């Protein structure tokens, strides 16, 4: 049992370190089965009864060497597996098939056998036996629908809600006789008398109006209307004029009432002062709602939109949550902290939140539509694209390119590439992905009609009529290690043959081809010969 655990660990470490060489280049010890394609040996082919000297040799290569020793070729039955050999192939060029075992003509590795009944003809997926899945701890999850709303936290300071501010002004010249509010930040209620002003100019206008009403005669109504108009001109309101009419007495004083409840934030008048029309007497700010200027990281600003629900807590009132919403995102970025200011409006029951308090806010856009979501651990970020391993029937796994959205709480939004109900691999997908890269499946992830291009440095080993043998450096984007292999040459007018010489060090550009050698697109010298 101990040997089994050690072999599994070596397998996993080597697969991660080797990238694309991955599962093909690794042997398994007792209790392990290798993949049936393209590694060659089907489930149950390796492990028990195998010569320990071959444990460090890949299963496909070990099977090929055994076939060469026993004279087995395509069409024969492998006595160890009991399956018929269909053909031999190079995992890097799966479209080329050979009848006899031997060394690959394309690169420095052995061909591997493909067996009938092992579903090796499917080159769009990888098959993993149930025993291997158990040993690797492969877990899957179902693609589902859900609403993924990122929760963003930000701190901010409470401020007056400027939209709840009112200004109290004098409408006429007069003298402040009585002031009921004597200090800033005094609370006031709507309708409360703030101050009383004696207005001499109103006396003459009111007496004229009352005198004309008492006179008897014809055609006096135009004069009464003119007197009423003069009371309006000296600053009296319609309510004050109505009071004069109903009482029949001069009203030389005016009581100025609070237009709303709140706190006096500015007080510019004292008793005995003379005030002029338009003089600001005081400012009142409501406290039923307050503003909070929250500093949101620039990278998360796109998730904070007007109308998004906000919850806030203050250290001064632990346990109490204040609700509100985002009013606007100010068009300004702090160059030092790389934050944007979001203006929030919070309800303030009991007027407990006071300007200057610090609060911690949480944003969550619950209006987002539902979308496909998968666990974030299922997504493989290659740097060029996002890929998931799709679990199919009969132990088959295939790489699928997806377009991702936001990520939050260990879940990732999928915008394209998957359907609800499909299964994706959560653990062990990197090992499967390395095998997929080896088989060239990653190249099939390009959109239709589009061929990915790759570049690498290489040394020319041999020239042929329509191909060239080179030893190239590792290609991480394909998961290829350093190896010697063949590349197909384009037409001579596209790449003159005299531009290549054995021993030259070159930089080359190429693209993969379906069921054929990679096609060299162009070369440039990298300096000198080997």
Residue 58 has pLDDT above 50, yes or no: no
Q: Is residue 320 in a domain?
A: no
Query: Is 413 found in the same domain as 521?
Result: no
CA distance 495 to 497: 6
CA distance 270 to 84: 108
Number of domains present in the structure of the chain? 4
Mean pLDDT of the chain: 78
Q: What is the pLDDT of residue 22?
A: 36
Query: Is 403 found in the same domain as 494?
Result: no
Q: Is residue 330 in a domain?
A: no
Q: Is residue 437 in a domain?
A: no
Percent share of the chain, pLDDT over 70: 78
**pLDDT tens-digit readout, 230-252:** 888 887 888 888 888 888 888 88
Query: Is 171 found in the same domain as 94?
Result: no
Of 250, 282, 314, which one is at a domain's C-terminal end? 282
**pLDDT tens-digit readout, 176-220:** 999 999 999 999 999 999 999 998 888 888 888 888 888 877 788
Q: Is residue 244 in a domain?
A: yes
**pLDDT tens-digit readout, 347-369:** 999 889 999 999 999 887 766 77
Strand pairing partners for 114? 87
Q: Which range of residues forms the domain containing residue 102?
A: 2-138
Q: Is residue 322 in a domain?
A: no
Query: Is 91 found in the same domain as 70?
Result: yes
CATH of the domain at 493: 2.40.50.320
Query: Is 29 found in the same domain as 59?
Result: yes
Query: Is 188 found in the same domain as 248?
Result: yes
Query: Is 492 found in the same domain as 379?
Result: no
Query: Is 49 found in the same domain as 122?
Result: yes
Instruction: Say which range, 43-47, 77-81, 239-243, has the weakest mean pLDDT.
Output: 43-47
Residue 14 has pLDDT above 60, yes or no: no
Neighbours of 35 (CB within 10 A): 26
Q: Which has the higher per-residue pLDDT, 526 or 265? A: 265
Query: Is 194 found in the same domain as 127?
Result: no
Q: Is residue 423 in a domain?
A: yes
Of 282, 301, 333, which one is at a domain's C-terminal end? 282
Q: Decide: 190 and 177 in contact? Cβ < 8 Å.
A: no
Query: Is 514 found in the same domain as 477?
Result: yes
Put simply, whether the predicted model's pTM sits higher than 0.85 gets the answer: no
Query: Is 112 found in the same domain as 201?
Result: no
CATH of the domain at 185: 2.40.50.100
Residue 266 has pLDDT above 90, yes or no: yes
Query: Is 96 found in the same domain as 73?
Result: yes
Altogether, the residues listed in the chain come to a count of 530
Q: Decide: 375 and 350 in contact? Cβ < 8 Å.
A: no
Of 282, 305, 334, which one is at a domain's C-terminal end? 282
Token couple for 23: 């599962």
- Tally the C-alpha atoms within 13 A of residue 286's C-alpha that lie toward its C-beta: 19
CATH of the domain at 415: 2.40.420.20
Q: Is residue 287 in a domain?
A: no
Q: Decide: 479 and 442 in contact? Cβ < 8 Å.
A: yes
Q: Is residue 405 in a domain?
A: yes
């Amino acid at each position: 049992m101990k040997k089994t655990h050690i072999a599994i660990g070596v397998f996993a470490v080597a697969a991660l370190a080797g990238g694309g060489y991955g599962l093909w280049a690794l042997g398994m010890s007792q209790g392990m089965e290798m993949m049936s394609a393209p590694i060659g040996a089907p489930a149950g082919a390796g492990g028990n009864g195998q010569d320990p000297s071959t444990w460090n040799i890949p299963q496909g290569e070990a099977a090929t060497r055994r076939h060469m020793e026993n004279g087995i070729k395509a069409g024969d039955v492998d006595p160890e597996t009991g399956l018929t050999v269909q053909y031999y192939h190079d995992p890097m060029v799966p479209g080329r098939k050979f009848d006899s075992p031997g060394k690959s003509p394309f690169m420095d590795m052995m061909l591997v056998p493909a067996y009938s009944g092992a579903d090796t003809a499917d080159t769009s997926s990888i098959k993993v036996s149930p025993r291997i899945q158990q040993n690797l701890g492969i877990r899957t999850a179902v693609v589902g629908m859900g609403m993924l709303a990122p929760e963003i936290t930000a701190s901010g300071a409470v401020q007056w809600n400027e939209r709840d501010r009112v200004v109290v002004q004098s409408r006429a010249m007069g003298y402040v006789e009585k002031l009921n509010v004597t200090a800033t930040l005094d609370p006031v209620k709507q309708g409360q008398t703030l101050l009383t002003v004696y207005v001499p100019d109103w006396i003459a206008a009111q007496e004229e109006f009352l005198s004309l009403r008492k006179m008897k005669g014809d055609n006096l109504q135009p004069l009464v209307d003119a007197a009423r108009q003069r009371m309006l001109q000296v600053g009296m309101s319609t309510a004050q004029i109505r009071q004069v009419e109903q009482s029949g007495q001069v009203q030389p004083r005016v009581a100025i009432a609070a237009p709303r409840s709140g706190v006096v934030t500015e007080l510019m008048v004292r008793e005995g002062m003379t005030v002029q029309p338009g003089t600001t007497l005081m400012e009142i700010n409501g406290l039923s709602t307050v503003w909070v200027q929250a500093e949101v990281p620039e990278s998360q600003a796109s998730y904070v939109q007007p109308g998004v629900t906000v919850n806030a807590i203050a250290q001064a009132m632990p346990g109490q949550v204040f609700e509100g919403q985002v009013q606007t995102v100010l068009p300004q970025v702090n160059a030092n902290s790389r934050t944007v200011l979001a203006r929030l409006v919070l309800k303030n029951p009991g007027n407990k939140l006071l300007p200057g308090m610090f609060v911690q806010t949480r944003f969550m856009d619950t209006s987002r539509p539902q979308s496909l979501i998968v666990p974030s651990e299922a997504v493989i970020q290659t740097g060029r694209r996002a890929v998931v391993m799709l679990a199919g029937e009969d132990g088959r796994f295939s790489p699928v390119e997806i377009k991702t959205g936001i990520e939050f709480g260990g879940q990732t939004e999928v915008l394209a590439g998957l359907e609800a109900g499909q299964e994706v691999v959560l653990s062990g997908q990197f090992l499967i992905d390395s095998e997929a890269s080896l088989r060239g499946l990653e190249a099939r992830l390009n959109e239709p009609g589009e061929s990915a291009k790759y570049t690498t440095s290489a040394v020319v080993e041999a020239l042929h009529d329509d191909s060239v043998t080179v030893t190239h450096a590792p290609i991480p984007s394909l998961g290829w290690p350093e190896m010697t292999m063949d590349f197909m040459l384009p037409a001579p007018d596209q790449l003159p043959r005299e531009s290549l010489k054995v021993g030259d060090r070159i930089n080359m550009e190429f693209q993969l081809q379906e069921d054929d050698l990679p096609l060299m697109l162009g070369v440039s010298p990298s300096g000198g010969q080997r």
